[in-house]
Amino acid sequence: MTELRTQFTRFLETRNYAPGTIYRYVLTVADLAQHYHRRPDRINDEEVQNFLHNMAYRRKLSWSTIHTAVCALHCFYHRFLRHPPHQFMIPTPRLPKRLPLVWSPEEIQHLIRTAGKHCPQTQVILIVAYATGLRLSELCHLRLKDLDPDHQTTWVRQGKGGKDRAALYPPRLKQVLDEYREAYQPLD
């Protein structure tokens, strides 16, 4: 690992960036350096613009990937190297606006029933996910003790951005979880 990469990684770590963000930011800057076969601190504004154009129109990367690259390069040049904002005017791409895919209640019921035929635990996980609206990563870290029927609250620990939060706990979920606890007697 180069000295500049190590310094940039430490810079991000001391500012408490998430490990995934650090990985993507460092990878983006390394990709830029490899693209031009030069250290990133010796690459000019026009070359950065061309690199982003290449990502979008030659490599055909998604807009969210390009947006992450813009954030990484902005952080590298403006915060880490402290170039003034009038240098390295890195454009932020406009993300396309898409409507979310919404499943009908019948499709949700079919999914839950089908999962229950193969694995009852998977069925309960899907019911909890649908009832609480948790993100996948939040669901993966959820423990039964985080589901609080007395206060009708689902406690999310260290969710997105490393933040704790409270989520919905619909009253109907209590019956499903009570049946699950009775049938499987989980440890947590």
**For residue 186, what pLDDT is reported?**
79
Taking residue 183's Cβ as centre, other Cβ atoms within 10 Å add up to 11
pTM: 0.67
Q: What is the mean pLDDT of residues 141-154?
A: 90
21 and 76 part of one domain:
yes
- Find out whether 153 and 166 touch, Cβ atoms under 8 Å: yes
Beta bridge partners of 155: 166
Q: How many structural domains are present in the chain?
A: 2
76 and 142 part of one domain:
no
CATH number at residue 61: 1.10.150.130
Range of the domain at 35: 3-80
Whether the per-residue pLDDT at 94 is higher than 80: the answer is no
- Find out whether 174 and 150 touch, Cβ atoms under 8 Å: no
Q: Tell me: the pLDDT tens digits for 78-88? A: 999 998 876 76
